Structure 1
Amino acid sequence: MFDPKLLPATRKILDLPARLLVRVGVSADQVTITGFIIGLLAVPFLAFELYEFALAAILLNRLCDGLDGAVARRTQLTDAGGFLDIVLDFIFYSAVVFGFLLASPEQNAIASGLLLVTFMGTGSTFLAFACIAGKRGIENPEYPNKSLHYMGGLTEGFETILAFVAFCLWPQHFSVLAYIFAAACWLTAITRIVAGYRTLKQPGAKPESTNV
């Protein structure tokens, strides 16, 4: 929901470190892969209930997720890089939830399972529409430099990270927080299904807003 509003500010902040990375020869794909590896460290940290370390790994992953795009804009935007970025992002999101399941299987199992199913809903609606939008040539004015068509909603990247931060700060309340976030994610998935279906029934039409 807030991603398009935050995008100009984050791009300005990340431009300087991106320039430094380009100067030393670091590619956008290298930043993407490094961020993914760092993000996966959250899983064992969560499993052993080292929530501060897990939070650090999650935040560093998200920093890299912003930096790879900044580096790509200063070098070359590629479909291969966009593909790698979005695939590893979805794996990372699910891995974090799995980490909380490992931390407390008895208490977190149902909430974790529900959240993983929920991520399938938001992820599949996002990716399915992006595929057909690319085929149709549907414009994406809010994200003009993205490799994929980014379909908005109540829960996007910023809201997901806020949820992960809350999970790490208050792990004893993971289940309640996960149920709340899952409900918001399902609202996003449902609005995307409705908006996407209506858009694709009218060739050439711009997608309806999915912000709630």
Structure 2
Amino acid sequence: MLDTHARKYVQPIIEKTADFFIKAGLSANQVTYLGFFVGVSTGIFAYLGYPIIAVFVLWLSGFLDAVDGTMARKTKPSPWGTLLDITFDRLVEISVIIGLAFRFQESMWALLLLSVSIIFAMTVFLTVGALSEKNGIKSFYYQAGLAERTEGFILFSLMILFSQYLTVITLVFLAIELFTTFQRLLEARKLLKG
């Protein structure tokens, strides 16, 4: 929801950063790799007990993820870049879940359920994107929903920072993820029936 409705407020900063990287000679894919390596360190920092650093690198990777997409649209977007972007996003999420699961094993069952819900959500999201005609600035059809990347980052941040409530926050995340998936399924039913 925030990605869809609030992006316009941060887009000027994203644009300036994209322009800076382009002038520096970096490609969108290079920034994608940079964001990935920064992002997967989140799980390591969460596991080692450095929650502030973990949250910082998580959000830095999310910012770089927005910048690389803007760079691609300003230069030459590629299907390979889209694949890298989507794959690396999931690997960053997996790193957070694994880092927290190994540090807080009593919450592992809730984190496992969250992982399953993310797989379910991404299956719906990507399948609808593949079956729909491209519509919008992204290289595939983007279904908006209650939980988008920013909401996920907020919830991951809460999970990292307030680990004493990890199971509860994870279950709230699970419920939001499932609600969003069914929301997208209902939209897909209308969209793909025609």
For this structure pair, what is the TM-score category when the shorter chain's length is used for normalisation? Answer: over 0.9
Residues of 1 paired with 2:189 and 2:73: CA distance?
32
What percent of counterpart residues are identical? 27
Q: Would you say the 8 A contact 1:28–1:69 is kept in 2?
A: yes
Choose which of 173, 176, 186 in structure 2 pairs with 1:184.
176
- TM-aligned CA deviation for residue 69 of structure 1: 1.4
Aligned residue in 1 for 2:30 = 30
Structure 2 match to 1:109: 108
> What is the TM-score when the length of structure 1 is the normalising length?
0.87
CA deviation string 1:1-41 (max 9, x = no partner): 12111222222111112111111100000000111011111
Is 1:5 the counterpart of 2:24 in the alignment? no
- Paired residues, number: 194
Asked if 1:172 is matched to 2:167, the reply is no
Q: 2:120 aligns to what?
A: 121
Measured in 2, the distance between the counterparts of 1:69 and 1:77 equals 8
Q: Which residue of 1 aligns with 2:77?
A: 77
RMSD: 1.3
Give the structure with the larger helix fraction. Answer: 2
Aligned twin of 2:50: 50
Contact 2:40 2:91 in 1 (8 A): no
1:65 has 2:39 as partner? no
Displacement of 1:123: 0.8
Amino acid at match of 2:131: I
**Cα offset for 1:180?**
0.6
Amino acid at match of 2:18: A
Work out the CA distance in 2 between the residues paired with 1:24 and 1:152: 33
Separation of aligned partners in 2, 1:15 and 1:161: 21
Shift of 1:171: 1.2
Runs of 4+ in structure 1 over 3 Å off: none
Cα deviation 1:25-63 (Å, max 9, x = unaligned): 000000001110111111221112221121121011111
Is 2:142 aligned against 1:157?
A: no
Matched residues in 2 for 1:192 and 1:16: separation? 33
